[in-house]
């Protein structure tokens, strides 16, 4: 009987192993089909993911406005409907900001992009002519620089600035009709998440208590709160900081007479969302465009002024906005941004810093816990 049981266990083991091999083979053999299925599934989920992100970003403003409405002692109507009214108030504020941006900012940025693309060949030819007309003893006429200039002259800008392709890209950007439904679904999802956040959190807590042991559940709750604080402070702080740096650099470059000042300011604000590397990339791109449109000295002054503004932002404005939520070294940030960018592009560069901050938190707590255990064991041995 014992022998038969062993044989059955052995055959069951080999059968499961064979099934696993077949499943792995079929998965690899139909990798493209599985990839398409996952992509389609993520496309379906995207409005819900976007809705969750919107609700996440608007949670703190909604909560603060709700607390103000609840303090209204005279108007019971407002007090009873504080949550719904707070959500309505926040969405009205966001809508007003979007309308202002679309009416005033978007036309300036779009016209600057069209003008820059249309005249880039003219700016390019003008730059090459100015370099050719420099005195022979100029620092820009040494052998290394001349080799670089010669290489630049041989570049065919048409292969980079293909108007037909740019027109196709523009049509793709303008043609948003297919995304309107997803956008409205995301808004509706975000509203319901904000309205029913208390019930959702209570359900998650009950589910956690039912699945996990008390100690595991308590640890999960503790780390969830800390992780949430890290992510929210980072996302909200970086977005606000990006807006601030976009405004001050746009104003500074407008005063200096830099062409496409608002476009360059917005670009610097967007790239500023990426820690460390973003500021460097933005300044280089802005310097190249200013070099083409305004010459060497204007580009140099612009780089100096923007670098000073970025240093003020990095040392004063950004720490005030973010606080001390991300206590990680610059080396770790550079590593996280490099790794995130290599595998997940822009969003990887943007979100890698809070992710690495959470991992550092978990590892640090684990080390402290283990060291505490060893200290207790050593004390007991003595």
The pLDDT tens digits for 179-194 are 666 778 888 888 888 8
Q: Looking at the predicted structure, is the pLDDT value of residue 379 above 50?
A: yes
Mean pLDDT of 192-198: 86
Q: Tell me the average pLDDT of the chain.
A: 76
- Give the span between the Cα atoms of 204 and 224, in whole angstroms: 12
pTM of the entire predicted model = 0.65
- Give the span between the Cα atoms of 87 and 66, in whole angstroms: 8
Query: What are residue 179's phi and psi, to 5 degrees?
Result: -100, -5
Mean pLDDT of 312-319: 74
> For residue 253, which of 223, 286, 211 has the smallest C-alpha distance?
286
Mean pLDDT of 151-177: 52
CA angle 129, 131, 135 (to 5 degrees): 115
pLDDT of residue 3: 61
pLDDT-based confidence at residue 123 (cuts at 50, 70, 90): confident
pLDDT of residue 145: 56
CB 322 within 8 A of CB 307: no
Q: Helix or strand or coil: residue 282?
A: helix
Under 8 Å CB-to-CB from 372, ≥6 apart: which residues? Answer: none
Find tokens 């979100």 and name the residue: 351
Q: Looking at the predicted structure, is the pLDDT value of residue 49 above 70?
A: yes
> Residue 303 CB: number of other CB atoms within 10 A?
16
Mean pLDDT of 274-289: 81
Mean pLDDT of 259-280: 83
Please tell me the least confidently modeled range out of 41-45, 255-259, 317-321.
Answer: 317-321
Q: Looking at the predicted structure, is the pLDDT value of residue 77 above 80?
A: no
CB 309 within 8 A of CB 252: yes
Q: In b/e form, how buried is each residue of 250-266, taking b as 16+ CB within 10 angstroms?
A: bebbeeeebbbbbbbbb
């Amino acid at each position: 009987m014992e022998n038969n049981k062993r044989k059955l266990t052995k055959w069951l083991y080999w059968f499961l192993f064979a099934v696993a091999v077949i499943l792995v083979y079929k998965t690899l053999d139909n990798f493209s089909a599985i990839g398409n299925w996952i992509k389609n599934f993520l496309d379906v989920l995207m409005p819900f993911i976007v809705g969750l992100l919107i609700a996440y970003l608007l949670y703190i403003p909604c909560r603060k406005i709700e607390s103000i409405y609840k303090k209204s002692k005279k108007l019971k109507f407002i007090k009873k409907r504080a949550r719904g009214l707070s959500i309505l108030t926040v969405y009205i504020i966001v809508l007003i900001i979007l309308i202002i941006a679309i009416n005033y900012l978007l036309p300036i940025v779009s016209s600057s992009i069209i003008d820059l693309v249309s005249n880039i060949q003219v700016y390019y030819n003008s730059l090459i002519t100015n370099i050719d007309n420099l005195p022979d003893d100029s620092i820009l006429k040494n052998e290394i620089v001349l080799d670089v200039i010669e290489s630049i002259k041989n570049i065919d800008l048409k292969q980079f600035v293909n108007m037909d392709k740019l027109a196709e890209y523009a049509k793709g950007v303008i043609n948003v009709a297919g995304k309107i439904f997803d956008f409205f679904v995301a808004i509706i999802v975000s509203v319901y998440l904000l309205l029913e956040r208390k019930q959702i959190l209570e359900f998650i807590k009950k589910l956690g208590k039912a699945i996990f042991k008390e100690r595991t559940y308590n640890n999960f709750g503790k780390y969830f709160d800390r992780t949430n604080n890290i992510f929210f402070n980072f996302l909200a702080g970086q977005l606000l900081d990006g807006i601030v740096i976009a405004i001050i650099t746009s104003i500074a470059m407008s005063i200096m007479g830099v062409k496409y000042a608002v476009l360059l300011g917005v670009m610097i604000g967007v790239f500023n969302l990426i820690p460390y590397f973003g500021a460097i990339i933005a300044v280089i791109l802005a310097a190249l465009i200013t070099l083409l449109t305004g010459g060497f000295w204007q580009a140099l002054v612009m780089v100096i002024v923007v670098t000073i503004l970025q240093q003020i932002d990095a040392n004063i404005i950004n720490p005030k906005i973010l606080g001390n939520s991300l206590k990680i070294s610059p080396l770790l940030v550079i590593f996280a941004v490099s790794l995130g960018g290599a595998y997940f592009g822009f969003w990887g560069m943007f979100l890698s810093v809070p992710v690495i901050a959470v991992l550092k938190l978990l590892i640090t707590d684990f080390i402290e816990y283990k060291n505490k255990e060893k200290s207790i064991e050593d004390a007991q041995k003595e």
